[in-house]
Chain A
Amino acid sequence: MADETKAPEQTSSGPRGGDRPGGDRPRSGGPGRGPGGPGREGGRKFFRRKKVCKFCVERIEDINYKDYRLLGQFVAESGKIVPRRLTGVCAPHQHRLSTAIKQARNIALLPFAGRAS
């Protein structure tokens, strides 16, 4: 009996990667890499539009703590560093940007916390 019940489960949900007790819902595995719409922002079918990394496009390599105007574009009103998925910055540049923002905060060129929070 156990074999009989197992066999059909395996054939049907084999390629989907294991037995899911919730039935055969076509969950393409992985955290919403494709059209990341349904389930994320309630009603958006596709990505907003492909945001590009400002530093890659304009080829700015020197992300310094001194140019607070450039850094200020990536800081919210509350003073928080804006996440990558909103600004479209690529990973290595985001890392450098975040170090520069933290240095600028230490030398009072940028605030730690704004008025909102």
Chain B
Amino acid sequence: MNRTYELMFIVRPDMTDEDLEKLISNLQAVVPTAGGTVKSVEKMGKRRLAYTVRRFHEGIYVLLVVEGGGAMIHELERRLRVSEPVIKFLTVRVDEEQKRLEKIKKIRDARKKVSAQPVTPAEGEVAAPAAETTATA
């Protein structure tokens, strides 16, 4: 039950701010009843669409990051599909991807620490072979 989803949807550009807020809070109300949590809401503003969607050339993008199960997403998508101002939506599951990214980050941080730690012994080691090579050469 700890799946993280990113739900991005586009709202028609002639929506007022308060209508948008109402819509978002409606959606947010679904989440706790289905046993999930809303991680973040981000209003990405009005953007020009790459192609015409329902005869609109612009749209207001909203990103909703939620955590929960599949049934919750089912309900959210149903609401989005039914609501009239929403013209497009996309749900992406991101918990696996985040896990992978964290793992990579951890490996990279660990590698950096190992290379950054032994400063003086490294100098000693570097000095010794240099001396040896100069002595022999």
The stretch from B14-22, B26-34, B46-54, B67-75 touching chain A is B46-54
Nearest-neighbour CB distance to chain B for A93, whole angstroms, equals: 13
* Nearest neighbor of A112 in chain B, beta-carbon distance: B51
Contacting residues, chain B, for A106 (C-beta < 8 A): 88, 90
A110 to B51, CA, bound (A): 8
Interface string of B94-137 (1 = CB under 8 A from A): 00010011001000100000000000000000000000000000
Number of A interface residues at 8 Å Cβ cutoff, please give it: 14
| A111/B50 contact (C-beta < 8 A), A61-B101, A61-B104, A62-B101 known | yes
Say yes or no: A109 contacts B50, CB within 8 Å.
Answer: yes
Asked if B10 is at the interface of the complex by the 8 Å CB criterion, the answer is yes
Asked if A105 is at the interface of the complex by the 8 Å CB criterion, the answer is yes
| A65/B92 contact (C-beta < 8 A), A105-B50, A108-B50 known | yes
New A-B pairs, 13, CB < 8 Å, besides A103-B92, A107-B90, A111-B51:
A62-B97, A65-B92, A66-B8, A66-B63, A105-B50, A106-B88, A107-B8, A107-B88, A108-B49, A108-B50, A108-B51, A108-B88, A112-B50
Q: List 24 A-B contacts (CB under 8 A).
A: A59-B108, A61-B104, A62-B97, A65-B90, A65-B92, A66-B8, A66-B63, A103-B90, A105-B50, A106-B88, A107-B8, A107-B88, A107-B90, A108-B10, A108-B49, A108-B50, A108-B53, A108-B59, A108-B88, A109-B50, A111-B50, A111-B51, A112-B50, A112-B51
